[in-house]
Amino acid sequence: MKNVRFTIRLKLLILSLAVLSIPFLGYEYLRELDRYLRTNLESSLMDAARAAAGPLHEQYTLFPYTQDTAENSLFIQKLLTPIQLDGYTDDWLDYLAWSKVYQQENEKDEDASLSYKLILGQYESNLQILLQVEDPHVTYQKPNSESILNSDHVELVIADEYSVKRHYYFATSAPGRFNPFQINTILDEWYEKREYVRYATNISAEWQQTESGYNLEISMPLYLLDERLGFIVRSIEGHGNGRVATSVGTAGTDTSTRPGRLLKPSSEIERVISRLDDNEGRRLWVLDSAAQVLSTQGKLQKDFSDQPLNIFYSFILPIVPKDFKDDLAGVSRLQGDEVKMALQGSVTSRWRATPDEKAIIVSAAAPVWIDDEVRGVVVVEETTNSILMLQRNALVSLFNKTLLVFFVITLTLLAFATRLSVRLRRLSLEASEAIDEHGRVVGEITGSSASDEIGDLSRSYAAMLNRLKEYNNYLESLAGKLSHELRTPMAVVQSSLDNLQSECSGKESEYLERAQDGIKRLNVLVLRLSEAARLEQALQTAEVESVDLTYLIDRCGEGYKLAYPESIFKVMTPSIKIEKKLSTDLFIQMLDKLVSNAVDFSLPDKPIEIILENNKTTVIKVINYGSILPEEMQAQLFNSMVSFRGKRDGQPHLGLGLYIAKLIAEFHNAEITAHNLQQNEGVVFKIRFK
């Protein structure tokens, strides 16, 4: 750990990890909260079921013993609004999900199948009944028929535990309002049995035909009911002879003799459970030993009016569903695993999803004991919407706090990054301004006193720049110093050799000529060093003027023909005048360097082409046919002290000619390049004005 250095990168990494850990910790917190709330809800429902079952223990009258099957029983629902007797289902829309389906067993002909849906509801002191019959062939009553029941009809059977008390028949000759009738038998004066019809004026019915059959709506007072109730729907063949084609009863074939039990909300049980706390969104069921519903209280839907209205949260947070499909609403029997376990004496719970998967319902069941025997079950249900709401609120709070923390950290990081950026930008600006485009040191870098990496970098840059400046100054003055210091001794040597030349002869004279050639070459080198030194000074003081480039190129071409009579020159310029801001002397010097280079490398029988083009930009081309440039040397051709002539002409070359041409081109805001011709016939130099 002693060698670990806390760099800026490491600091930012640690800070980023700390920031990223905030959502992870929040997620773990929500998971633990969800686990705790689920366990707490389950325990709460089980305790509520035990508490609700407590007052019902040993209540013999509330839980009568029965051996009837639950499938034959009919359950009366509570209606919240009155029903208009018109044969239509408009008033029943909220209760259609409670309907129970009865259909013909082992039907072979689907076109002749008979089925119906049945709903029983209580509003105040009346029983409202809706039958939705599906019958492809509806037959109405026909007058003057030998049979009383010569049409499709519905039979209502009322009975107690011991016998059938009344039969009511619902048949009509046309859709509309009518009263049912009873068929009574009497003995006439000859003691023969005769049937007669008596209409029940205290029962009203409405028959309306539908596309698939007909609707029958019935309204009757509750006092007519007894312990058992059944319905038989009969479909008569359409020949008027009264023969029954098919029939479907609520208790099967035994409906007419022993209908199923009639289950209706027990007022005694309701009084007991009404004293319990009425929690919104919680539903309580009381069942008998056959899991048939004796009473129910409450509903699962709960209004969550405190959901955040912020549209931002509405997009990112889960919406607590207000409406979901409650498949158990209005059922007459519960069949869940928790009910089965409660009938065996255990208090258990169950989690299930609604059919539309919009909500999760948790139910807990507790047994009701009578004489050490389970006679009933209390079931308490509630959705997890309360948990979702708590999670939602916790998530909103956590999200707000996380946003605040992120905002503060972001501001801190932004300030930190801004300071780093400003310091780096200042250092970059100082470094770029300290060295010009030619590599000369023209400024300085102020070393920072900061103790971090950027401070170290600025101090290193400052020290390096000072050393580079001193070295560049030395190199810049070297050419002038050398040329100045070499002139005097070379002049002495030259004069001495001249004096010896007059006195020597023969082989000694040959040696003197070689020495004089060497002195001449040294003079050329000194001259070119002086030229390079003077050029940098000339570039700083040179003035530009508007020059006709076409005329200038033509004039230079004529001069080159005279200067190099052994070479062939071809000058091509446009017929228009091209004005450019130039320093004429410097521009001609640059062109001289390129032409001199072309002359040295051109074949004797090939022309040197000087071309001026003015399309989108102005371009000057100098083309020589002969030697080509090595591929790896094209990028270095215009560097200082670079020469590829070898000993081609026996003249000394420092590699300054093309470098000088590059400096002059850059002074005129132009770019100079060189590359081989496409057929490798030679080299083309291009000066492109920007």
Q: Who contacts 127 (Cβ-Cβ below 8 Å, separation ≥6)?
A: 76, 120, 121, 218, 219, 220, 221, 222, 225
504 and 616 share one domain: no
**Does 38 share its domain with 128?**
no
Mean pLDDT by 10 residues, the chain (690 residues): 60 74 76 84 90 86 64 81 93 86 67 83 92 92 77 93 90 94 81 83 96 96 92 80 78 90 79 74 86 82 64 66 76 84 91 86 92 89 83 77 80 81 82 73 75 77 81 68 70 74 68 74 68 67 87 92 91 92 89 90 90 91 89 71 53 66 88 88 92
Dist CA 448 CA 387 (whole Å): 59
Residue 279 and residue 335 in one domain: yes
Cα 621 to Cα 670: distance, rounded to the nearest angstrom? 13
Q: Are residues 621 and 653 in the same domain?
A: yes
**528 and 560 belong to one structural domain:** no
- In angstroms, the CA 126 to CA 223 distance is 9
User: Is residue 403 situated within a structural domain?
Assistant: no
pLDDT value at position 1?
47
Amino acid type, 618? T
Residue 287 maps to a domain: yes
- Do 274 and 317 lie in one domain? The reply is yes
Residue carrying the six token digits 């509630």: 382
The answer as to whether 89 is a domain residue is yes
Residue closest to 392 by CA, chosen among 498, 284, 304, 476? 304
Angle, CA of 176, 129 and 63, to the nearest 5°: 165
Is the same domain home to 34 and 179?
no
| Structure confidence at residue 108 (pLDDT) | 47
CB 283 within 8 A of CB 382: yes
The reported pLDDT for the residue numbered 491 is 74
The residue from 260, 294, 327 where one domain ends is 260
Same domain, 546 and 685: yes
Task: Examine the domain organization and report whether 671 and 581 are in the same domain.
Answer: yes
The predicted structure's pLDDT at residue 30: 74
Q: Note whether residue 447 is domain-resident.
A: no
Question: Do 80 and 203 belong to one domain?
Answer: yes
576/614 Cα distance (integer angstroms): 9
Neighbours of 1 (CB within 10 A): 3
Q: Report the CATH number at residue 464.
A: 1.10.287.130
- Classify burial at 210, counting beta carbons within 10 Å of its beta carbon; exposed 0-12, middle 13-18, buried 19 or more: middle
The alpha helices in 374-452, defined as continuous H runs, are 385-434
How many angstroms separate the CA atoms of 346 and 485, rounded? Answer: 117
Q: Whose CA is closest to 150, among 132, 135, 172, 167?
A: 172
**Last-in-domain residue among 260, 285, 301:** 260
**Whole-number Å distance between alpha carbons of 553 and 26:** 78
Q: Which residues contact 682 (CB under 8 A, 6 or more apart)?
A: 601, 602, 606, 623, 624, 625, 626, 627, 628, 676
- Domain assignment present for residue 553? The answer is yes
**CATH for 628:** 3.30.565.10
Residue 426 falls inside a structural domain: no
Q: Are 282 and 364 in contact (CB under 8 A)?
A: no
- Examine residue 225 and state whether it is found in any structural domain, yes or no: yes
What domain count does the chain have?
Answer: 4
Q: Where are the beta strands (DSSP E) in 549-651?
A: 568-572, 579-582, 607-614, 618-625
Same domain, 80 and 221: yes
- Domain stops at, among 538, 572, 592: 538
- Is residue 481 within 8 A of residue 499, CB to CB? The reply is no
Domain with 462 in it: 452-538
Assigned domain for 409 exists: no
Number of C-beta neighbours around residue 564 at 10 A: 16
CB atoms within 10 A of CB 12: 14
Sequence-ordered list of residues with C-beta below 8 angstroms from that of 41, at least 6 positions apart, any chain? 362, 382, 384, 386, 387
Q: pTM for the full model?
A: 0.51
3-state secondary structure of 143: coil
Tell me: do 255 and 285 sit in the same domain: no
Q: Which residue has tokens 């929500």?
A: 30
Answer yes or no: are the C-beta atoms of 442 and 434 closer than 8 Å.
yes
Residue 349 is part of a domain; what is its CATH number?
A: 3.30.450.20
> Tokens in use for 460?
């290193």
Give the residue among 217, 218, 219, 253 at the shortest CA–CA distance from 234: 253
List CB contacts of 198: < 8 A, sequence separation 6 or more.
181, 182, 184
Answer left, alpha or beta for residue 662, where phi above 0 means left and psi between -120 and 50 means alpha: alpha
Distance CA 414, CA 422 (A): 12
- pLDDT value of residue 483: 67
107: domain CATH number?
Answer: 2.60.40.1190
Helix, coil or strand: residue 55:
helix
